[in-house]
């Protein structure tokens, strides 16, 4: 699996442009005048006459206000809609992806079927898709089907859909203590949420020419441009605002199981946090009635109260139900509501997010991966938009439900939280405890279970244990070179990583396999992801040269093959990112 971080890193190497439509020309001309004004200001070093400040009654509530450069969602007025690829281009790419997987006879048959489709029913289907896209200009043609794909899937979200992203340890050892780190992460997460909802979070921008666009002078200028023109300004300096509509679902959101197709629930009135420990579930407010972050010392006291709670682990942990087949879970949830648990479930669903405090310390990276990807199923609520998991030794990760959004939004959140907790922690190892009655502030949720629910929980645990027992995770750390060395050789690190997968599979199984790599299309309104097909005729030729024909080719020939693989993979990545 390729991580979102890798996709983001490689996306930064793209060089591409997007044509401006004729009906945007007048706005671009208007902006050209404004751009000239900005350039004059920059060249003459004239200081702007405006200043910006933000006042909050709670100094802990907002982060990043000093980084405010413009309206958060100015990318949402961006005229860039995800393009519908031409049918002939889709067929061409499909056949190119099939070429390394088939023998000559199979490919000839596939080619004929593809051409018949292109000249027959495919043409009609494509016309219908284009018409549907034109009738729904408020969104992308892929958005609806994408939600349907995720929400209609009946398989367990565990292993099949929910990914995880690990945090690095805090550089200051004392801040990795479970109570300290969990308190700081909760506080920073709430600060991020408030910054987001106040419209002060710096927009996500894809800079093709950072020297021009990722500068203080341009940012100071663009913030004063009317929102209807701001995207054009960014476009003219090769900066592309990324779609941030998914951020809405980050907080107070849960996937609700329904028969046939699940639903997404977001209730931004919730002010409480859901905490899980030993399978028990607790809630307490982390935002006060004025909308400010509860005092960090109080949050620390509440979490300490939970960590010291002597309540034993339940023999029938409710969280395991979220790992079940979705139709099975939907039926059991209906039963939970019918037996008087609606109010407690509502608190789970509307919580800002879930904090999972685990009892184990992590042994190594493999143990971390297993724990953060699935754990034991008892101390998780996999349906929450995201959960921050913190082990006994302070190792931390985010596990997130995938239907509402992709890794771009979660990765941004994770990076901001890590930066805030390590650079501006609000509690410290020697922080004094708050004088607060945590026993009154913290509520442990209790659920009424009948025999059918008890049986369902037991069965869910059996299914969960069976599924995770089949999962093997192994890793190797290669220390003889890295991305910087590859870049010096003008090779794409991602292309080389993908090529190494192809070589390894060929060495172990003797063949080339169809391969999937995800690429974000967040440069477009309501974009999700596109697929890169890394197995190509170039990787097949290069893999065979290294694996099957050692010593047959000169160094120059092998280098040329590597260059061709890198160049072609870069082209595939560019096309995927641009949705064409």
Active site residues: 402
For residue 465, give the nearest of 278, 279, 366, 324 by alpha carbon.
Answer: 324
Burial grade of 360 (CB within 10 A; 0-12, 13-18, 19 or more): middle
DSSP SS3 for 172: coil
Instruction: For residues 315 and 527, give the distance between their C-alpha atoms in angstroms, rounded to a whole number.
Output: 43
Strand partners, 264: 255
Phi (first) and psi of residue 168, to 5 degrees:
-75, 155
Phi (first) and psi of residue 285, to 5 degrees:
-75, 135
Residue 215 CA neighbour count, 13 Å, CB half: 14
458, two tokens: 């037991």
Which helix (H) or strand (E) covers residue 165, if one does?
A: strand 164-166
For residue 337, the 8-state DSSP code is I
Token match 């648990």: residue?
Answer: 341
408 close to 375: Cβ distance less than 8 angstroms: no
Instruction: For residues 5 and 168, give the distance between their C-alpha atoms in angstroms, rounded to a whole number.
Output: 14
DSSP SS3 for 275: strand
568, two tokens: 């072609």
For residue 496, give the nearest of 557, 407, 574, 559 by alpha carbon.
Answer: 559
303 close to 438: Cβ distance less than 8 angstroms: no
For residue 413, give the nearest of 373, 372, 353 by alpha carbon.
Answer: 353
191 close to 420: Cβ distance less than 8 angstroms: yes
């Amino acid at each position: 699996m390729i991580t979102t971080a890798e996709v983001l890193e490689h996306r930064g190497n793209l060089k591409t442009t997007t044509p401006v439509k004729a009906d945007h020309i007048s706005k671009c001309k208007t902006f050209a005048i404004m751009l000239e004004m900005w350039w004059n200001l920059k060249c003459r070093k004239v200081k702007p006459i405006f200043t910006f400040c933000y006042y909050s009654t709670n100094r802990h509530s907002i982060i990043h206000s000093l980084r405010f450069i413009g309206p958060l969602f100015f990318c949402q007025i961006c005229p860039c809609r995800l393009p519908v690829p031409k049918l002939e281009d889709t067929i061409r790419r499909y056949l190119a992806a099939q070429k390394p997987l088939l023998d000559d006879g199979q490919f000839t048959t596939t080619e004929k079927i593809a051409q018949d489709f292109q000249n027959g029913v495919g043409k009609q289907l494509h016309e219908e898709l284009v018409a549907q896209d034109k009738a729904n200009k408020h969104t992308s043609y892929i958005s609806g089907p994408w939600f349907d794909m995720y929400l209609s899937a009946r398989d367990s979200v565990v292993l099949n859909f929910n990914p995880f992203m690990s945090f690095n340890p805090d550089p200051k050892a004392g801040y990795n203590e479970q109570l300290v780190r969990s308190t700081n992460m909760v506080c920073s997460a709430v600060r991020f949420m408030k910054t987001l909802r106040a419209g002060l979070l710096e927009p996500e921008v894809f800079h093709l020419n950072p020297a021009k666009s990722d500068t203080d002078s341009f940012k100071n200028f663009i913030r004063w441009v009317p929102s209807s023109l701001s995207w054009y300004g960014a476009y003219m300096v090769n900066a592309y605002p990324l779609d941030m509509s998914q951020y809405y679902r980050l907080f107070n959101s849960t996937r609700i199981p329904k028969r046939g197709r699940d639903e997404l629930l977001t209730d931004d009135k919730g002010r409480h946090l859901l905490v899980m420990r030993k399978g028990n579930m607790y809630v307490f407010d982390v935002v006060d009635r004025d909308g400010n972050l509860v005092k960090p010392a109080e949050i620390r006291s509440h979490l300490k109260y939970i960590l010291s709670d002597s309540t034993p682990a339940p023999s029938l942990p409710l969280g395991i139900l979220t790992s079940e087949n979705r139709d099975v879970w939907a039926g059991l949830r209906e039963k939970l509501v019918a037996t008087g648990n609606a109010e407690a479930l509502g608190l789970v669903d509307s919580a800002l997010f879930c904090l999972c405090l685990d009892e184990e310390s992590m042994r190594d990276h493999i143990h971390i991966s297993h724990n953060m990807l699935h754990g034991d199923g008892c101390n998780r609520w996999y349906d929450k938009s995201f959960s921050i998991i913190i082990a006994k030794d302070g190792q931390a990760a985010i596990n997130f439900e995938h239907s509402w959004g992709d890794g771009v939004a979660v990765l941004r959140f994770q990076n901001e939280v890590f930066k805030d907790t390590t650079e501006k922690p609000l509690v410290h190892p020697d922080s004094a405890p708050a004088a607060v009655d945590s026993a009154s502030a913290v509520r442990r949720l209790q659920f009424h279970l009948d025999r059918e629910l008890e049986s369902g929980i037991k069965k869910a645990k059996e299914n969960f244990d069976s599924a995770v027992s089949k999962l093997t995770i192994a890793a190797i750390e290669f220390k003889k070179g890295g991305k910087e060395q590859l870049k010096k050789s003008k090779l794409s690190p991602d292309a080389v990583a993908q090529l190494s997968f192809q070589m390894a599979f060929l060495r172990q199984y003797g063949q080339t396999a169809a391969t999937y790599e995800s690429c974000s299309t967040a440069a477009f309104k309501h974009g999700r992801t596109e697929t890169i097909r890394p197995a190509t005729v170039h990787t097949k030729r290069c893999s065979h040269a290294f694996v099957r024909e050692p010593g047959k080719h000169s160094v120059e020939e092998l280098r040329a093959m590597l260059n061709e693989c890198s160049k072609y993979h870069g082209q595939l990545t560019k096309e995927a990112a641009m949705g064409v």
